[in-house]
Copies of this chain bind each other. A is one copy, B any other.
Amino acid sequence: MTQPSFCCPDHSGAQDAASILSQAQARAARLGLRLTPVRLRTLEMLIAAHGALGAYDVLEKLAAEGFGTQPPVAYRALNWLVEHGFAHRIRRLNAFTACSHPAHDHAAAFLICTACDSVTEAPAAEVTAALTDAAGQAGFAIDRATIEAVGRCHACTGAAA
């Protein structure tokens, strides 16, 4: 349910997975963050996943690899990755996805395809600017924002009529 039997043609996960991972490792080194075995494996799973993974999906895999078997194991790793900018939480799906640009801090929007379950991270600088502006008119000062869109990805728009 979390993952379709195969991926969107244009969801080029595999080809830049190595690149994302090395960016993440570079970031961790630069900031002195400890990317421990559980955290690293969790991040690798998120990177390898075609869509977002639920905490219990991650937990199941971690347990199968000999890590802890209880929910906090997965939640701790996932929350740590999110806090430190290696992953994002997708609230609409109660799930998590690897950050595709861990090299730098950034505002992101997520594009969730209802046909293939892919989740794409889109640059959201302008969206965030518009949101900050709209909030400012109400006298509201933004800390963090969640921007998620549900629809059809490029591949699925073309494919299914």
Contact = CB atoms under 8 A, between A and B. Distances in A.
Interface string A102-143: 000000010101100000101110110111011101111111
The winner among A91, A131, A140, A146 for most chain B CB atoms within 10 A is A140
Contacts of A91: 91-92, 146, 148
Interface stretch (A41-49, A73-81, A150-158): A150-158
Nearest to A140: B111
A92 B150 contact: no
Nearest to A146: B148
A152 B120 CA distance: 29
Interface residues of A, number: 38
Contacts of A144: 149-151
A102 to B, nearest CB: 19
Nearest to A155: B139
Contacts of A139: 10, 153-154, 157
A153 B140 contact: yes
Contacts of A130: 126-127, 129-130
Given A127-B127, A141-B151, 20 more contacts: A10-B139, A91-B92, A109-B135, A111-B135, A111-B138, A111-B140, A120-B140, A122-B134, A122-B140, A131-B147, A141-B157, A142-B149, A142-B150, A143-B149, A143-B150, A143-B152, A145-B147, A145-B149, A146-B146, A146-B150
Interface of A: 10, 91-92, 109, 111, 113-114, 120, 122-124, 126-127, 129-131, 133-135, 137-154, 157
